[in-house]
Homo-oligomer: A and B are copies of this chain.
Amino acid sequence: MRRSRTAAFIAAIIASVTIVLGNNVRLNPGQAQTASGELTVDDLRARLRVPDGYSESFQFLGSYAVAAGPGEDPGDLHTVFASPGTVRGYLDNGRFADGAVLVKEVFAATAEAMTTGHVSRAAELKGWFVMVKDGQGRIAADPLWGDGWGWAWFDAPSPTRTSTKDYRAECLGCHVPAQGTDWVYVRSYPPLR
């Protein structure tokens, strides 16, 4: 009896280790998975926000310097991150796993003379674009979800409350050229190549 209780205790410790290693990210409410690893619809919905601690736990994908036109300094600097395991899953399976979260920070850029040249870097944070993979299209009757993803923009002061209302009108247009790679500009992200 004592032995089986001890064994159960050890099993619980090992199980908790596995959970820690498999989810190396500060989880937001709703980011837990079911025992089978299947995400619930509520889990998916809860991920459509700026994830707590993503700058520490998410993997960097790539950055963009965005100018109005040639010959102009970049006005914005974009930096893109993926939730833990997303890159590895994409490289293994050629697709984004259900529940994968992509975060794009949008900064105003500032340019100045530095020792390496005329350099643009991040100044104030304007906000974040967040995409959450809904691989089975389970969230259908919601104007922030469709085409295999949840889509939302968050102004810098409001990381949990989106100001967008309709991804088709407010998000999708910019992604049309990337439709062939599941609406994501994969070629811009060295870890996904």
Helix, strand, loop or mixed for chain A's interface?
Answer: mixed
Determine whether the beta carbon of B119 is less than 8 Å from that of A67.
yes
Known: A62-B122, A64-B114. 20 other contacts (CB 8 A): A13-B14, A17-B17, A55-B190, A56-B87, A56-B191, A60-B81, A63-B77, A63-B121, A64-B120, A65-B120, A67-B118, A68-B118, A70-B73, A76-B116, A114-B177, A115-B173, A115-B174, A115-B177, A116-B174, A122-B188
Let me know if A20 is at the binding interface, CB within 8 A: yes
This chain's copy number in the assembly: 2
- Minimal beta-carbon separation of A74 from chain B (angstroms): 6
Determine whether the beta carbon of A70 is less than 8 Å from that of B118.
yes
- Minimal beta-carbon separation of A83 from chain B (angstroms): 12
Determine whether the beta carbon of B63 is less than 8 Å from that of A122.
yes
**Interface size class, chain A:** 35 or more
A54-109 residues at the B interface, CB under 8 angstroms: 55-56, 59-60, 62-79, 81, 87-88, 107, 109
- Chain B, Cβ-Cβ closest to A116: B66
Let me know if A21 is at the binding interface, CB within 8 A: yes
- Minimal beta-carbon separation of A113 from chain B (angstroms): 9
Determine whether the beta carbon of A68 is less than 8 Å from that of B17.
no
